Amino acid sequence: MSGTSAMDTIRMQVMWNRLIAVVEEQAQTLIRTAFSPIVRECGDLSAGVFDRQGRMLAQAVTGTPGHVNSMAESVHHFIRHFPLETMSEGDIYITNDPWMGTGHLNDFVLTTPCFRKGELVALFSCTSHLTDIGGIGTGPDGTDVHMEGIYIPMLKLADRGVMNETLLAMVRANTRQPVESEGDVYSLAACNDIGCTRLVEMMDEFELDSLDVLADYICTSSRDAVMAEIAKLPNGVYRNSMRIDGYDGPLDLVAALTIDDNGISVDYDGTSPMSRYGVNVPSAYTTAYTSFGLGCVVSPKIPNNAGSLSPFTVAAPEGSILNAPYPAAVCARHVIGQMLPDVVFGCLQQVAPNLVPAEGASCLWNLTFRGETDRGSNESTLFAVTAVTNGGTGARPNKDGLSATAYPSGVKGTPVEINESVAPVIFWRKEFRADSGGAGEFRGGLGQVLEIESAIDKEFEMLAAFDRIDHPARGRNGGQDGDRGAVFLKSGERLKGKGTQRIAAGERLVIHTPGGGGFGNPATRDPVRQAADQRNGLATASADGDD
Amino acid sequence: MTKDSPAPRLAIDIGGTFTDVVLDLGHELATAKVLTTPDAPEQGVMAGIDAVLRDTGTDPAAIGLVIHGTTLATNAILERKGAVTTLITTEGFRDVLEIGYESRYDQYDVQIEKPVPLVPRARRLTVPERMDVHGTALLPLDEQAVTALVPALEELGTESVAIGYLHAYANPDHEQRTRDLIAAALPDLSISLSSEVCPEVREYERLTTTAANAYVRPAMARYLGHMRDQLTAQKFQCPVLLMTSGGGLTTLETAQRFPIRLVESGPAGGAILACQAAAEAGLDKVISFDMGGTTAKICLIEDHQPHKAREFEVDRAARFLKGSGLPLRIPVIEMVEIGAGGGSIARLDALNRITIGPDSAGADPGPAAYDRGGDRPTITDADILLGRIDPGHFAGGKLTLAPGQSDATIKRDIGDPLDLTPPMAAYGITEMVDETMANAARVHAVEQGRVAADHAIVAFGGAAPLHAARLADKLSIDTIVVPTNAGVGSAVGFLTAPVAYEVVRSRNMRLRQFDPSLVNSIIDEMHAEASAVVDAAAPTAETVEQRIAYMRYVGQGHEIVVPLPNRPLTDADAETLQAEFDRQYEALYRRTIPTAEVEVLTWGLTLSTAAPAPEPFGESPPRDAPPPAATRRLFDAEANREIEIPLYRRPDLAPGMTIDGPAIVAEDETSTFLNSRFDATIAANGYLILHRKKETAA
């Protein structure tokens, strides 16, 4: 290899690392400036840099697999609506269209063209989850998307540096939290600006007039690396299905996973039809969580970009719950979408049995509450809060599952002290739930038990969107199922896992988040592990089921 | 003792392997390096002290001050060798320490392990009680339940207790009452309260910090007591002050109560050295670059002061991966530490890209060139192969290197798989590590709202001077300072640290409802608390006070730091604060938010002794440099060939001399590498100052 081309290779690798650092900084800016607690406390956001063709070159590693390639797709939509030659320095574009963005109206997506010496050199895009956008609220009860809140088509948020005050006024007027919602829009704008500043600095330093060569290098080497990993797996078609609760009846998620010389494709033919209610999944979100599940097993060390994502293709029949077209209600699409890595794992287990965990709680148990406050007339008298909460993950082939841990989502839980500072609710309990992990040689992660009450003399509403209440996380290789989730009042009444329900003042709401499935035969569990669980009060029985 | 010859002072830095002792006699520094004695650290300390006093003929009674820093608290956590600790917490919240953030620090790795809490579930006990967010008791403390825990505390073999209740930052009554009840029954037990250790919102961070304090407290309190006794027995009459993670000095008694504040005291000493060097060189904006055997530490220094922070992560399970450790909310000097030191191992990742660390070959077995069983190429091996290190004089000639091992391991692990010659592969390794450090510096600068390129670099630690020039290239930095005594930088830094104590109070206030008399009374309270500590340590010293407010828009979760004037506040100061907030916010995030209201979350006050401003060194008349002591063959990657460059020995160089890069300046503990874009002058005080040559200025 000649000296010059060796230098080029090293330069390319250095610049690639720099791009990843740039998008991490973009994401940090978003977290530090966000208003929405689910963004600032939990990390429900995404940030990335794209070339002029709309190819994603780097994405910040944040807590949101659902944004993985949905954000990548959305930049193509932006470019289609606003051709590059019409973009000016200082422009910012915005949408929350579920089918152009990341699958529900709560996610605002902003795209900012980045200019250097008057030339458009790249695009920065970012997404954050706003707590409230009006409508019926952040729950699954809507029967079409327009009930679910303000719908912003592809629009200019800023024109040559001037913010679109009309649009901001519309946003403020269509949410229960006008100040926070507008603040989050500003936060998104700031994060793209910071990304662009850093990219221009990098191009100055490396005397780069265009990202084309670097983009080709990143995409080609990433794709090659993923293809090399896929080549280690035997070609074939592998099938799996999983039944979950659904809104108004059980749903079957059915997958055929094909490994061949072109990559991996997943086809969800046979999956249940879409629902009347807001648990439907737009196809970009289906693709995102499917690709994430594949990435965890096949190519966990390869960064996300257009190249590394390209070997994975996903299809679902239109009109199925995994490809719901406009105007379907989609607000709680995460409840179904987050199940897809488990579905994919059931296929991959047949070719990579030592890499695939048992099923887990999988969907976030987001406690979304809404009601009136007892504050004075100066402020909004309505509150809305989403407390991120989790069950247990599936046991791994050589380790217990993780207790009270998000997977596949990677967002953080909301601190109790923060929840109580933004909403008039009291959490009386938030602890591990003993025995909730599926037994096995390695047990599933434990779920949690929570008790929540209104802090004032007013009722509040719970916008429930939970699963794994009727259909538990299944164990693998002889491991037992995880314990089911549950929602009820301490006074005894059972509540539904989905839909808006009222909790009277003085009543305590009790939540059991589900446990993960176990892995391997419980009789072979290491007695030392089991004794530790018993000593710590996490298991009340010995491994073989005796007291 | 006359004004012209102040009393000699001793600085002691206990590290994992070595204990460094530096005696400052005013006109010279005497140093000793002895092995750390982990079971009774005071023994190593006394041996080191004995050595420097004997060598210099100094009388212990003549010593004016002992300054001490240590990683013992950190190591107790890393090695899980702390006290048997029991947590008493609010009923219903037994698992806060273990539930943590409910997230995963590596999104794609399904095999991760979460950090193990310092207190296992069997030793987490609960009591009925509950404060609300405003500090109002929703449920009174069940005192009988507290008393009933006493037998359990004994049965569990409890050596230390942490008490952490929900919202205790808003009202400490229940925690204090619990302490009193437990102390009445078990008077010898060490008890740490979350409302004292870390009075801040967010239960996981507060309880983890409190548990960590309780975990290290008995051993640290014991050790510090023993050390004081031994010094007294040796006829020392002076005070002993402890270096804190925040870069200030505190009393031994305060350190015994809040030992968690000592965890990063060694690196803090390094940052203080960089402040001193910045002042002497007359540089207002500096990046402190401390690269040792295992890690590199990068810290911003502005106006000769380090940036401060209130959070730090210890014991990262996946080393250096953000989010994999235990979060501590303590005052610290804001710095990033990354797994990039001389011993860091280079390898190829799944994409055949060169990656560095985070694992290190350490001192044992060490880099391949040490020829002591290390079989992996390290940064040091790459530096040797490129010709930047003189293998005949490494570590002052005490360690003979085997450059062939560097060549062989780099060829095998990096060069052959990538089809690169070994020197080109070595260049790739140094480029990647330099880029990693540059990225860390860049992101860190931006997190502080600063631009790395506006700074100069102060480089110290064994490996930093080798890499500083290339780091400067990548950051568009034109000036580098390599101080003298860089090898024992941390202990030297202790000698210049001010006596300082930082206090914070969480008290939420919207600017619209600004209440100057309440703020003034909070500030007075904090001033009294800080004065008590500072006056005890430095009774006659002149002090400097810094007041700040942590502010944000109502509804945000993260604050920015806004300075407050040092005078009683009035109603009109609501506008002063708003204007200053707008200015800081716009500098960080480009635009302010027109409709959003601003609030203060936390008030802070730091009281410190006024450090005498170091004298900037003046100009030295130019002198000719001596001929090089030797020449070295250096691999020039851009030309893809070896070139011959001069090597100078630092002791041969005198103030006013200039040398032209590329060149190497070698000394016992390190070597400074000048690439072709830098020259260097020797300053009046012996510092090596590298300047980017005019024609290539960035």
Looking at beta carbons, which residues of chain A come within 8 Å of B556?
33-35, 40, 183
- The per-residue b/e assignment along B631-643, b for 16 or more CB within 10 angstroms, e otherwise, is ebebbbbeebeee
Q: What is the pTM of this model?
A: 0.86
Q: What are phi and psi of B616, to 5 degrees?
A: -65, 140
pLDDT in tens, A189-199: 999 999 999 89
- Closest of B463, B378, B385 to residue B671, by C-alpha: B463
Mean pLDDT of B585-599: 86
Q: Which of B84, B556, B88, B105 is nearest to B319 (CA)?
A: B105
Q: Which residues of B470-505 are buried (b: 16+ CB within 10 A; e: fewer)?
A: bbbbbbbbbbbbbbbebbbbbbbbbbbbbbbbbbbb
pLDDT above 90: residue A524: yes
Supply B392's token pair: 């005949």
Question: Is there a single domain that holds both residue B200 and residue B230?
Answer: no
Length, in residues, of chain B: 698
Q: Which residues, in sequence order, are bridge partners of residue B665?
A: B648, B672
| CB-based contact A182 B432, cutoff 8 Å | no
Helix, strand or coil, per DSSP, at residue A367: strand
State the smallest CA–CA distance between residue A81 and chain B in angstroms. 27
Are B537 and B599 in the same domain? yes
Could you say which of B138, B350, B439 has the minimum Cβ distance to residue A302? B350
Say which residue, B554 or A56, is predicted with more confidence.
A56
Nearest to A416 among B120, B203, B350 (CB): B203
A8-15 average pLDDT score? 78
- A190, B591: Cβ pair inside 8 Å? yes
B155 Cβ contact partners less than 8 Å away, ≥ 6 residues apart = none
Of A475-489, B394-408, B506-520, B533-547, which one has max mean pLDDT? A475-489
Taking a C-beta distance cutoff of 8 angstroms, is the pair B301, B445 a contact?
Answer: no
**B90 and B72 housed in the same domain:** no
Single-letter amino acid, residue B288: S
User: Is the pLDDT at A432 greater than 70, yes or no?
Assistant: yes
pLDDT at site A281 = 97
Q: How far apart are CA A254 and CA A272, in angstroms?
A: 8
Contact A424, A528 (CB under 8 A): no
Q: What is the CB neighbour count within 10 angstroms for residue A173? A: 10
Residue B26 structure tokens: 């005013």
Does the pLDDT of residue A4 top 80, yes or no?
no
Determine the pLDDT at residue B115. Answer: 86
For B170-229, what is each residue's pLDDT tens digit? Answer: 899 999 999 999 999 999 999 999 999 988 889 999 999 999 999 999 999 999 999 999
Q: What's the domain count of chain B? A: 4
Average pLDDT value for residue range B317-338: 80
Q: What is the mean pLDDT of residues B587-611?
A: 86
Residue B158 located in a structural domain? yes
Report helix, strand or coil for B358.
strand
Alpha-carbon distance B626 to A168, whole Å?
69
- Give the CATH number, domain containing residue B14: 3.30.420.40
Q: Distance from A217 to chain B by nearest Cα, in Å? A: 12
- Does a structural domain hold residue B553? yes
Q: Are residues B50 and B159 in the same domain?
A: no
Residue with tokens 């949410």: A175
Quick one: which of A401, A528, A390 has its CA closest to A476? A401
Rounded to whole angstroms, the Cα distance separating B694 from B576 reads 43
Q: Which chain A residues are closer than 8 Å to B426 by Cβ?
A: none
CB within 8 Å: B202 and A6: no
Instruction: For chains A and B, count residue pairs whose Cβ atoms are closer than 8 Å.
Output: 217
| pLDDT for position B205 | 95
Domain limit, last residue, from B172, B192, B212: B212
Residues B203, B98 share a domain? yes
For residue B288, pLDDT over 70 is answered with yes
Please report whether residue B391 resides in a domain: yes
Residue B636 lies in a domain: no
Exposed (0-12), middle (13-18) or buried (19+): which is A402, by Cβ within 10 Å? buried
Residue B321: left if φ>0, alpha if ψ -120 to 50, beta else—which one? beta
Choose between B587 and B210: higher pLDDT: B210
Q: Are residues B199 and B233 in the same domain?
A: no
Nearest CA in chain A to B557: A40
* Whether residue B37 is found in the same domain as residue B98: no
Q: What are the chain B neighbours of A67 within 8 Å (beta carbons)?
A: none
What is the separation of C-alpha B609 from the centre of its chain, rounded to a whole number of angstroms? Answer: 20
Query: Which has more pLDDT, B203 or B696?
Result: B203
User: Got the DSSP string for A159-173?
Assistant: ETTEE-HHHHHHHHH
End-of-domain residue from the set B183, B212, B241: B212
Residue B363 confidence (pLDDT): 60
Residue B667 — very low, low, confident or very high, per pLDDT cuts 50/70/90? confident
CB nearest to B107's CB, from A405, A410, A426: A410
Q: Which two tokens stand for residue A273?
A: 């039809």
C-alpha dihedral over A270, A275, A280, A284, to 10 degrees? 40
Token pair 């009722």 in the structure block, residue: A459
Q: Domain locations in chain A?
A: 3-222, 357-547
d(CA A67, CA A85) in angstroms, rounded, equals 27
Same domain, B73 and B94: no
Domain of residue B187 covers 85-212
Token duo for residue B299? 């810290």
Looking at the DSSP assignment, which residues form a beta bridge with residue B475?
none
Closest residue to A183, CB basis, from B111, B442, B553: B553
Task: Tell me the pLDDT tens digit for each residue of B31-81.
Answer: 777 777 878 888 889 998 998 999 899 999 999 889 999 878 887 887 788
Which pLDDT does position B489 carry in this prediction? 76
Mean pLDDT of chain A: 92
In whole angstroms, what is the distance from residue A75 CA to residue B200 CA? 41
Residue B362 has pLDDT above 70, yes or no: no
Per-residue pLDDT, B698: 43
Task: Give residue B5's pLDDT.
Answer: 54
ipTM, two decimals, is 0.90
Q: Which residues of B touch A383 (CB under 8 A)?
A: none
Mutate to test the interface with A, among B90, B107, B347 (most CBs of A within 10 A): B107
Please indicate, yes or no, if residue B394 is contained in any of the structural domains.
yes
Alpha-carbon Rg of chain A, whole angstroms? 24
Token readout for B116 is 């193990």
Residue B198 and residue B96 in one domain: yes
CB contact under 8 A, B593 and A410: no
* Structural domain contains residue B656: no
Between B667 and B117, whose confidence is greater? Answer: B117
Structural domain ending residue among the three candidates B551, B582, B609? B609
Look up residue A28 and give its two tokens: 């940090």
> What pLDDT does residue B317 have?
63
Min mean pLDDT across A491-505, A531-545, B91-105, B623-637 is at A531-545
Query: Could you give the dihedral angle defined by the CA atoms of residues B311, B312, B317 and B319, in that order, rounded to the nearest 10 degrees?
Result: 130
Count CB atoms within 10 A of the CB of residue A186.
24
Confidence (pLDDT) at A7:
63
Give the separation between CA B124 and CA B89, rounded to whole angstroms.
7
Residues B605 and B504 in one domain: yes
Any domain includes B436: no
Q: What tens digit of pLDDT does each residue of B456-498 get?
A: 999 988 789 999 999 999 898 999 999 987 767 788 889 888 8
Contacts of B92 in chain A (CB under 8 A): 427-431, 451
pLDDT of residue B65: 87
Neighboring chain A residues of B130 at a CB cutoff of 8 Å: 426, 428
B178: left (phi over 0), alpha (psi -120 to 50) or beta: alpha
* Min Cα separation A156/chain B (Å): 18
Yes or no, beta carbons of A405 and B104 under 8 Å apart? yes
Main-chain phi, psi angles of A435, to 5 degrees: 65, 10
How far apart are the CA of B130 and the nearest CA of chain A, in angstroms? Answer: 9
Closest chain A C-alpha to B222 CA, distance in angstroms: 30
Q: How far apart are CA B563 and CA A360, in angstroms?
A: 48
Q: Using CB atoms, which residue from B166, B203, B435 is nearest to A14?
A: B435
- Phi, psi angles (nearest 5°) of residue A305: -165, 180
Residues B18 and B69 in one domain: yes
Nearest CA distance, A537 vs chain B (angstrom):
7
A112-147 per-position pLDDT tens digit: 999 999 999 999 999 989 988 999 988 899 999 999
pLDDT tens figures, A296-306: 999 998 888 99
Report residue B134: phi and psi, to 5°: -95, 0
Residues of A in contact with B442 (CB under 8 A): 21, 198
State pLDDT tens for residues A166-188: 999 999 999 988 888 999 999 99
Mean pLDDT value of segment B655-680: 91
State yes or no: cis peptide before B391, omega within 30 of 0.
Answer: no
Decide if A205 and B474 are in contact by the 8 Å CB cutoff: yes
pLDDT bin (cut points 50, 70, 90) of residue B4 is very low
- Measured between beta carbons, the chain B residues lying within 8 angstroms of A182 are 593, 595-596
User: Do residues B205 and B91 share a domain?
Assistant: yes
What is the pLDDT of chain B when averaged over all its residues?
88
Give the per-residue pLDDT at A518: 98
Check CB contact under 8 Å for B99 and A403: yes
Give which of A266, A265, A263 is closest to A223, Cα–Cα: A263
pLDDT value at position A112?
Answer: 97
Q: For the ranges A52-66, A150-164, A268-282, which has the lowest average pLDDT?
A: A52-66
Q: Which amino acid is at B181?
A: L
Question: Three-state SS for B286?
Answer: strand
CA–CA separation, A65 and A70 (whole Å): 9
> Is A406 in Cβ contact with B103 (below 8 Å)?
yes
**pLDDT computed for residue B506 by the predictor:** 78
